[in-house]
Amino acid sequence: MDVYSGILVSHEGIVHGDLVVEEMVFEESRIEKDDYVITRTFFNAHTHLGDAALRDAPRIELEKLVGPEGYKHRMLEATDLTVLREHAIAEVRRCRNEGTSHFLDFREGGKAGLEVVRDVDGVLALARPKNVEEAEEINSFGFAYSSVRDHDLKLIEEVREIARKRKKFFGIHAGERDCGDVDATLSLQPDFVVHMNMCPEMIGEFTEEEIPIVSCFRSNAFFGLLNKKSYELLCEYDLWMLGTDNAMISTASMLDEMHFASYIVGSERALLRAATAGYEIFNVEHGYIIFNRKHSFRKTSDPLLTLVRRAGVKDIEVILFDTHLK
């Protein structure tokens, strides 16, 4: 029976024990063990994998790059779906090898756009229906729109209702550049919201309703929209998650996102929680990452800080995905 003995690191602290591979169970022990450093895999709560083919994006302002008439959408229209799919798959494979098991993906392009990630292990696709008929027939993990500003609000409201009826998740961006789209977003009562970096004054309205919030630090930084005030509030929120946003700007690896975020906020514990909270929120199974102690974790005095700030591919001994993992 394969067993990895060592410490399991999570936001709740450190416990010693054995990870039994066959059963995917970590058994706590009273004896100190430290051969390996073990963590849950990571859940990336926000990607746009379809634009992995478009890297590297020019450094232009938010609206011009990702707005409805912007660079990204012009380029997506002009690129063959099979090319988009090839790049999305390569990005997912690479990031799964870095311990990110799931990618909650905003899938542009209506029903046809789902082809980009169809049956790719670990990708949970949130489709963007072009009309009510598509929303009724699309078979996806859920639905998502970019912002109430960018689409017909009536369509968004109807799709939100359909998501409820069909028991699918509904997500949307809000508060990325200001509070202008936040009221209308709140009234949709989404299952989760992405960003809120530039609207800290309304974060409390989401936390009171227990609506999860996703932050994307590198994306915010790229657009000059980092806002410590928001992240500090979110560090206190159990339903906070991390995502990596556009694949044309950032890798979809949560190790990369955590490393960067740890320079912006002071709570590595909260960042680690946010990198794994999606498993409970979206009810999917996590795997385990087994880190060796040859490099970053050799002689570390605080494995949690090492993990969040600097652990890399060279530290990974093996990754175990749940056998039922989709």
Considering the complex, state which of residue 275 and residue 311 has its C-beta at the smaller distance from Zn ion: 275
Judged by CB under 5 A, the stretch of 107-115, 179-187, 243-251, 304-312 that binds Zn ion is 243-251
Q: Report the helix count and the strand count for the chain, using DSSP H and E.
A: 14, 15
Nearer to Zn ion, 7 or 247 (CB): 247
Site track 162-181 with Zn ion (rule: CB under 5 A), x = hit = --------------------
Q: How far is the CB of 54 from Zn ion (least distance, A)?
A: 14
- Binding of Zn ion by 245 (CB under 5 A): yes
- Going by C-alpha positions, the residue among 222, 273, 274 that lies closest to residue 245 is 222
Q: What is the nearest approach in angstroms of Zn ion to the Cβ of residue 244?
A: 9
Residue whose CB is nearest to Zn ion in the complex, by number: 245
Binding range to Zn ion, per CB under 5 A, among 127-135, 137-145, 245-253, 307-315 = 245-253
Taking alpha carbons only, the member of 184, 191, 253, 168 closest to residue 218 is 253
Q: Which stretch binds Zn ion (CB under 5 A): 88-96, 224-232, 237-245, 309-317?
A: 237-245
What are φ and ψ of residue 50, in 5° steps?
Answer: -65, -20
Q: Could you tell me the smallest distance in angstroms from the CB atom of residue 217 to Zn ion? A: 13
Minimum gap (Å) between residue 313 Cβ and Zn ion: 25
Query: Cβ of residue 107: shortest distance to Zn ion, in angstroms?
Result: 11
Question: Based on CB atoms, which residue is closest to Zn ion, 181 or 245?
Answer: 245
End-to-end CA distance of the chain, in Å?
Answer: 25
Beta strand 213-215 pairing with 3-10: unpaired
Q: Is 18 in the site for Zn ion (CB under 5 A)?
A: no
For residues 124 and 103, the answer to whether their CB atoms sit within 8 Å is yes
Q: Which helix (H) or strand (E) holds 321?
A: none
Q: Which stretch binds Zn ion (CB under 5 A): 78-86, 127-135, 228-236, 244-252?
A: 244-252
Q: Which residue has the tokens 């969040």?
A: 308
> Which DSSP string do the residues of 97-149 spell out, in sequence order?
TTTEEEEEEEE-SHHHHGGGGTT-TTEEEEE--SSHHHHHH--SSEEEES-TT
| Shortest distance in whole angstroms from residue 219 CB to Zn ion | 7
Tell me how far, at minimum, the Cβ of 144 lies from Zn ion, in Å. Answer: 9
Region from 87-95, 177-185, 238-246, 300-308 binding Zn ion, contact rule CB under 5 A: 238-246
Q: Is 105 in the site for Zn ion (CB under 5 A)?
A: no
- Which residue lies nearer to Zn ion by CB, 245 or 257? 245
Q: How far is CA 173 from CA 79, 227, 260, 276, 310, in A?
A: 24, 16, 21, 20, 29
> Given the structure tokens 């800290």, which residue do they identify?
200
- The residues of the shown chain that bind Zn ion, judged by CB under 5 A, are 245
